[in-house]
């Protein structure tokens, strides 16, 4: 009986160690894709270079492990970084997103968090689903110190 308990404990421990923080935020085949900011089919988190939704912006859907590596923009030379690609005449256009976001607008139907650290760690700012509560505004805990994002949902 003791050996069965030890085997069970070992299997349970292995399963727990294989669970990553990302599992808490769901997976979606569109995670990390860039979309036009707005309610046009895929509803991204729109990140703005400036405060009060000002300056250049970029809409990124779902979960992003690190703003310094866009998995949809990779080659044999590595992956490109997320950058402010919308609003070519506005301040911040062409700037990299990581540690340069001051405000956000959540167009998604689920809450979304912006994290201080890559890999969804450290302090975070959470934004309510589009149309509910606080779904846009200036970042606080992650103002110009932001590295990753994730939708907060049971089954995304």
3-state secondary structure 48-116: EEEHHHEEEEEEECCCECCCCCCCCCEECCEECCCECCECCCCCCCCCECCCCCCEEEECCCCEEEEEE
Positions in the chain short of pLDDT 50 = 1-24
- d(C-alpha 129, C-alpha 59), whole Å: 15
Q: Can you give the length of the chain in residues?
A: 156
What is the predicted pLDDT for the residue at 41?
Answer: 75
pLDDT of residue 86: 97
How confident is the model at residue 48, as a pLDDT?
A: 98
pLDDT score of 29: 84
Q: What is the pLDDT of residue 23?
A: 44
According to the model, what pLDDT value does residue 153 have? Answer: 79
**Sequence ranges of the domains in the chain:** 26-152
The fold adopted by the segment(s) 26-152 is Gamma-B Crystallin; domain 1 (2.60.20)
The pLDDT assigned to 26 comes to: 57
Q: Which of 82, 29, 86 is nearest to 57 (CA)?
A: 86
């Amino acid at each position: 009986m003791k050996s069965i308990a030890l085997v069970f404990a070992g299997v349970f421990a292995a399963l727990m160690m294989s669970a990553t923080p990302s599992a808490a935020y769901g997976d979606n085949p569109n995670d990390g894709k860039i979309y036009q900011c707005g309610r046009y089919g895929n509803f991204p988190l729109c990140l703005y270079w400036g405060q009060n939704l000002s300056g250049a912006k970029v809409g990124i859907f779902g979960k992003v492990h690190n703003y310094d590596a866009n998995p949809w923009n990779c080659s044999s030379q590595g992956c490109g970084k997320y950058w402010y690609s919308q609003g070519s005449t506005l301040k911040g256009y062409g700037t990299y997103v990581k540690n340069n976001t001051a405000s956000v607008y959540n167009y998604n139907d689920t809450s979304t968090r912006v994290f201080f650290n890559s890999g969804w760690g450290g302090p975070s700012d959470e934004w309510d689903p589009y149309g509910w509560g606080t779904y846009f505004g200036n970042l606080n805990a992650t103002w110009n110190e932001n590295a990753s994002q994730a939708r907060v949902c049971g089954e995304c």
